[in-house]
Structure 1
Amino acid sequence: MKASFKAKYETDKAAAAATVAVNAGDIKLRASMTDATIVSGPNLNGLALAVEKPGFFIVDYNVPKKDFRFQFMNTIRVSEKPLNLTYMHSRGDNRTSLDGTLVFDSANKVSANHVLGSGNCKLKYTYVHGGLTTFEPSYDFSKNSWDFAISRRVYGDDVFRAAYQTSSKNLGLEWSRNSKLNGSFKISASLNLADERKMPKLTAESTWDFEM
């Protein structure tokens, strides 16, 4: 049995979440809750259940909303290159999306996302240079705009990332660390360059994993 605890802090609020996962053969059972489940007495707010077969499917159930979300994964080969496909459907808002990622090699891949019944389609190219620096330009067809991101891995566990959305003029900076010994954390700042006040939004997240 595995458990994780996540705490999130923003300039004006704080939140927490916990997850417990149990392996049943090749099936994983997962339950998660947020601080809304406990605040003001035990209740169903923030409670979610999931059944997962890694690499094949995930079924999520939002208990308070009585809403299911289905996710199915498969991999096919195109010209001897793996094409990873993901189908997602949320029953509550009747939203269906398709994701596809074509992996050319360890340094190059192209991914696309499309929401069925809408003009919402995004295309992203990912290039990893030297195994440490990642460039991710993407194009949003619905907004007719480009987004750009660059990240750099340093000291093994630390990753620094910068991203810019041209449509909203939003600049994001992020520092994250994923350590099996000391837990994981992420510190991020976002700034809307179109805002005259130029006040950044700061967020800090910490995650601890436990074997039970």
Structure 2
Amino acid sequence: MMKASLKGKYDADKTTGVGSLSFNAGDLKLRATMTDATVVAGPTLNGLSLALEKPGSFIIEYNVPKKDVRFQFMNRVMIAEKPLSLTYIHSRLDNRTIVDASLAIDPANKLSANHMVGTKNCKLKYTYVHGGMATFEPSYDLAKDTWDFAVSRRFYGDDVVKATYQTSSKLLGMEWSRSSKSTGSFKVCASVNLVDEVKTPKLTAETTWNLDI
């Protein structure tokens, strides 16, 4: 079965669109992704990428116009009977490697770390889920020596309201999202920089449609 998705995003500066088409080949999934730059002035190769994926194991993605290959490998091991999820991401053109680790202490508590190899960029995050409905996520950026905070609450099963605050940029954000496997999802975001004298909120809207072909 082939699956298609279409994503549209609108903000005050520009409106963009992204489409993807994928189908399963046994344990593997083949996917082609294109942006509005691929078709508006074209057809062209701008914004086109091709990917080969084995869910939960690896993703190999080729950016056609940049001639860049991105490798992503996933694995899970047990540490003291706790699942540790590991993700290794390498971009050949940028020569950049990122390692992401997530340790589930129990269903309500999780520790995560994200590190760019060869740099001081490292972020630590603690996630606590209260009653399966509310989530608290403080995170610490070692390179910037700053904290970020996020609090989210689920309503009616599919709706989530989330508030975020970045101490480094003094950016306060609010987000409302709804996700459905059958009909797609949407997200509406508002953010304001508390440092600006004129605190005008920046609004963005994003929606995704999923289709089975």
TM-score, normalising length from structure 1? Answer: 0.98
The answer to whether residue 34 in structure 2 is matched with residue 30 in structure 1 is no
Aligned length: 212
Q: Give the match for residue 188 of structure 1.
A: 189
Specify every segment of 5 or more residues in structure 2 that has no aligned partner in the other structure, as ranges.
Answer: none
Where structure 1 has 5 or more consecutive residues not aligned to the other structure, the ranges are none
- Tell me, yes or no, if structure 1 residue 162 matches structure 2 residue 163: yes
Paired with 2:21 and 2:175, the residues of 1 have a C-alpha distance of 27
Say whether residues 1:94 and 2:79 are aligned partners. no
Matched, 1:74 2:75: yes
CA distance in structure 2 between the partners assigned to 1:25 and 1:183 by the alignment: 25
Give CA-to-partner distance per residue, 1:130-149, whole Å, 9 cap, x none.
Answer: 00000000000000000000
Q: SS at the partner of 2:106?
A: coil
Note the alpha carbon deviations across 1:31-84, whole angstroms, 9 max, x for none: 010000011220000101100001110011110000010000111111000000
Q: For residues 8-23 of structure 1, what are the structure 2 equivalents within 5 Å?
A: 8-23=9-24
Aligned to 2:212: 211
Partner of 2:121: 120
Aligned-partner Cα distance in 2 for 1:49–1:198 = 41
1:131-142 matched pairs, under 5 angstroms: 131-142=132-143
SS at match of 1:104: strand
What residue identity is the alignment partner of 1:138?
A: S
Structure 1 residue identity aligned to 2:66: K
For residues 95-110 of structure 1, the aligned pairs below 5 Å read 95-110=96-111
How far off is 1:105 after superposition?
A: 1.1
| Distance in 2, Cα, partners of 1:24 & 1:99 | 28
Amino acid at match of 1:55: G
Distance in 1 of aligned mates of 2:151 and 2:48: 35
Whole-angstrom distance in 1 between the partners of 2:134 and 2:31? 33
Quick one: distance in 2 between partners of 1:27 and 1:8?
29
Partner of 1:54: 55
Matched with 1:177 is 178
Between the aligned partners of 2:191 and 2:92, the Cα distance in structure 1 is: 32
- Paired letter, 1:56: S
Q: CA RMSD in A?
A: 0.8
Q: CA deviation at 1:186?
A: 0.2
Instruction: Calculate percent identity across the aligned residue pairs.
Output: 67
Q: Distance in 2 between matches of 1:74 and 1:183?
A: 28
Q: Does 1:151 align with 2:152?
A: yes
- Summarize deviations over 1:111-168 as a string: whole Å, max 9, x none: 0011011001100000000000000000000000000000000011100000000011
What is the deviation of 1:182?
3.9
Moved >4 Å (runs of 4+): none
**Quick one: distance in 1 between partners of 2:204 and 2:121?**
28
Q: Distance in 1 between matches of 2:67 and 2:156?
A: 44
Amino acid at match of 2:13: D
Could you tell me which amino acid in structure 1 is paired with residue 52 of structure 2?
Answer: V
- 1:45 corresponds to which letter in structure 2? N
